Amino acid sequence: MFAAAVAGAAITNYVSSYLWVIPGIDKPNFYHAEYGQLRMGKSLYEDYARYLRNSPIYHADKINTPLLSWAGKQDSQVDHYQSVEFYLALRRLGKTNTMLLYPGENHVFSDSVNKQHLTQSIEQWFDHYLKGDKNPESF
């Protein structure tokens, strides 16, 4: 459906995200999944199948779009292991994907060098897959 895609700080496994404890405030992520941005409306245990259906990691075998994913390693909103797990699933399946992890960065980047690198990487990713430019060397 798409020639290329980018996913930043993505929740890819709704089950593990539901059971994640937000660092710094030591609060479980239940509310975020049920009534926050994910809007699942029910707990994991009231509608387990819904959490599985909406988790990209359980559908990785159907993905054919080249994916560039990125995350800050100190993200306090979405555990960066969500991106790592998805990257590993796609890699194991032989899918085209690249992951960029930024040490010291949170959900929103603060370091100008990292912001610039991410922006250039995204531009190069799309230039390669949408315009046929040479393979970016930053990957």
Of the pLDDT bands very low, low, confident and very high (cuts 50, 70, 90), residue 127 is very high
CATH number at residue 25: 3.40.50.1820
pLDDT, residue 37, reads 87
Average pLDDT in the 5-16 region? 96
* Residue 87 domain flag: yes
* Residue 139 domain flag: no
What would the pLDDT profile of 80-123 be if each residue is shown by its tens digit?
A: 999 999 999 999 999 999 999 999 999 999 999 999 999 999 99
User: What is the DSSP secondary-structure string of 115-131?
Assistant: HHHHHHHHHHHHHHHHH
Per the structure, how many domains does the chain have? 1
* Residue 23 domain flag: yes
Cα 49 from chain centroid (whole Å) = 21
pLDDT, residue 139, reads 61
- Residue 9's domain comprises 5-131
* Residue 55 domain flag: yes
* Residue 63 domain flag: yes
**Pair 71, 109: CB distance under 8 Å:** no
Query: What is the SS3 assignment for 50?
Result: helix
Query: What is the SS3 assignment for 19?
Result: coil
Instruction: Give the count of alpha carbons within 13 A of 114, CB side only.
Output: 16
Q: Is the pLDDT of residue 137 over 90?
A: no
pLDDT, residue 114, reads 98
* Residue 137 domain flag: no
* Residue 27 domain flag: yes
Rounded to a whole number of angstroms, the distance between the first and last alpha carbons of the chain is 23
What would the pLDDT profile of 42-83 be if each residue is shown by its tens digit?
A: 999 999 999 999 999 999 999 999 999 999 999 999 999 999
What would the pLDDT profile of 20-49 be if each residue is shown by its tens digit?
A: 998 888 888 898 899 988 899 999 999 999
What Å distances lie between residue 118 and 37, 39, 41, CA to CA? 24, 29, 34
* Residue 51 domain flag: yes
- Closest by CA to 139, choosing from 2, 1, 38, 4, is 4
Query: What is the SS3 assignment for 81?
Result: helix
